Amino acid sequence: MTLSDLKLNESAHIVGFSTDSPACRQKLFACGLVPGAEVCVIRIAPLGDPLQICVDGNLMLSIRKSEGQNVTVRT
């Protein structure tokens, strides 16, 4: 399951990443999306993109759905 698959107010833990791009991984790490972090979908834009997420209960981020598809999670 990926971060983009989560529904509104659904939480999960980051397991890993499905991208081989070092630049994409670096961007995700810099945003605080690291393995073991808990993420929760707070808002979804009317057209479904972007997603507003909360990381570990204190960091709010907006990410594109395409970026969320690179983040593997488990509920």
Q: Average the pLDDT over 58-62 and give the result.
A: 90
Q: Lowest-pLDDT range, 22-26, 53-57, 59-63?
A: 22-26
Q: How far apart are CA 63 and CA 52, in angstroms?
A: 7
Q: What is the pLDDT of residue 56?
A: 87
Q: What is the pLDDT of residue 39?
A: 94
Q: Which pLDDT band holds residue 22 (cuts at 50, 70, 90)? A: confident
Q: Nearest Cα to 52, choosing from 12, 8, 5?
A: 8
Task: Give the number of domains in the chain.
Answer: 1
Q: What is the pLDDT of residue 30?
A: 86
Map residue 11 onto helix, strand or coil.
Answer: strand
Give strand pairing partners of 61: 53
The boundaries of the domain holding residue 41 are 3-74
DSSP for 29-66, written as a single string: HHTT--TT-EEEEEEE-TTS-SEEEEETTTEEEEE-HH
Q: CATH code at 16?
A: 2.30.30.90
